[in-house]
Amino acid sequence: MSTEKPALEVHNLTASYQRKPVLWEIDFALPAGKLVGIVGPNGSGKTTLLKNIMGLMQPDGGYVNLFGKKLDEVRQRVSYVPQRESVDWDFPASVLDVVQMGRYRRSNLFKRLSAEDKHVAAEALEKVGMLPYAKRQISQLSGGQQQRVFIARSLAQQADLYLMDEPFVGVDASTEESILTLLSEMKQEGKTVVIVHHDLQTAYDYFDWIVLLNTRLVAAGSKEEVFRSDLLQEAYGGRLTVLSKIGDLISRKDFPIREGEFKEKEGLGDG
């Protein structure tokens, strides 16, 4: 029955940085078992959307449901691959160390990793073709290898829904190919993979479902539906002038983004 629920449902999500809205009333749902691209120009709020889905930012309004539930109830089924540049790769750790971090959970707080955890981590490394590099220091990896390590860490979480932030940025052709192979394998296993991607050229080939974003939702649907020149033009043809002006006003004059007395229906997705 849970298969009927959308893997991800974003409901009227509005989010801001330093009180300046960067996402306006985003509302869409994604079916399970698809490769989904979140596509849009630079600064269109793609990463912000991912952070809101993963609970790394508190939205100003709206909510997110995963498999029809709140994030905290389905944590184990969701995995996140942050942007490669978001960490310092000069950190003293080996490839295996980083992949094993995928096994750190609330349940093994204070404890050492079990033999099974270590096995799962090694398997994940094998899947991305990085097992021969297990002992290598992460500071010595190429960009493509770093990305594969991050994906392996996420695979080690054995989730059903994966959210990846720009995994194709700055990787070599062979890494790109191996990520794509991996994605199609994951799809075959019935996993849902949501990928933030800025390159319109490749988006059509990579994904089956596309969310077109430019601070507001332009379109969400199967790639055939979304890849229409008018919609692409809308997403890549600059921001809406009035919307930007209102965003500036909210931030400068300290207006609230949602009025305090306005109570949102918190759909728990059960009914």
Partner 1 sequence: MDKFFAFFSFTDPNVRLVTFGTMFLGLSTAAVGSFAFLRKRSLIGDAIAHAILPGIALSFLFFQSKNPFLLMGGALVSGWLAMVSIEYISNKSKLKPDTAIGLVLSVFFGVGILLLTHIQHTGIGNQAGLDQFLFGKAAAIVKQDLYAYGIIAFLLLAVILLLFKEFKLLSFNPDFAQASGLPVQSLRFVLSTITVLAIALGIQSVGVVLMAALIITPSAAARAWTERLSVMMLLAGGIGAFSGLVGSYISFTAPNMPTGPWIVMCLSCIALASLFFSPRRGVLAKLLQQRKNRIKIVSENLLKALYHLQEQSDFQNRHFTEGDILEQRSFSQGDFHTALKKLKKEFWIMPITEKNRFQLSEKGVEEARRVVRLHRIWEMYLTERMRLKADHIHPNAETIEHIITPEIEEQLLEELGYPKKDPHESPIPYKA
Binding site for partner 1 (CB under 8 A): 51, 54-56, 72, 75-76, 78-80, 82, 86-88, 91-94, 97-98, 101-102, 104-106, 109-110, 112-113, 137, 139, 153, 157
User: Of 110 and 262, which CB lies nearer to partner 1 in the complex structure?
Assistant: 110
Under 8 Å between Cβ of 126 and 178:
no
CA proximity to 216, closest of 45, 32, 16? 45
State the nearest-atom distance from the C-beta of 9 to partner 1, in Å. 18
What is the nearest approach in angstroms of partner 1 to the Cβ of residue 54? 5
Q: Min. distance of Cβ 102 from partner 1 in angstroms?
A: 8
Which helix (H) or strand (E) segment holds residue 30: the answer is strand 20-30
- What's the token pair of residue 209? 């479902």
Place of tokens 């991996």: 182
> Which residue is listed with tokens 């750790």?
93
Angle at 49 between CA 47 and CA 52, to 5 degrees: 110
The minimum distance between CB 60 and partner 1, in angstroms, equals: 16
Q: In angstroms, rounded to a whole number, what is the distance separating the alpha carbons of residues 216 and 212? A: 9
Min dist CB 96 to partner 1, Å, is 11
Nearer to partner 1 among residue 92 and residue 260 (C-beta):
92
Shortest distance, position 232 Cβ to partner 1, whole Å: 30
| Nearer CB in complex with partner 1: 73/224 | 73
> 10 vs 226, which CB is nearer to partner 1?
10
Nearer to partner 1, 105 or 228 (CB): 105
Which residue from 161, 229, 178, 171 is spatially nearest to 197, judged by alpha carbons? 171
Q: Which is nearer to partner 1, 30 or 54 (CB)?
A: 54
What are the C-alpha distances in Å from 20 to residues 53, 62, 88, 247?
A: 19, 16, 28, 6
At its nearest, how many Å lie between partner 1 and the CB of residue 105?
7
- What letters, b where the CB count within 10 A reaches 16 and e where it falls short, cover 93-123? ebbbbbbbebbeeeeeeeeebeeebbebbbe
Residue 32 token pair? 């399970």
Minimum CB distance to partner 1 smaller for 19 or for 187: 19
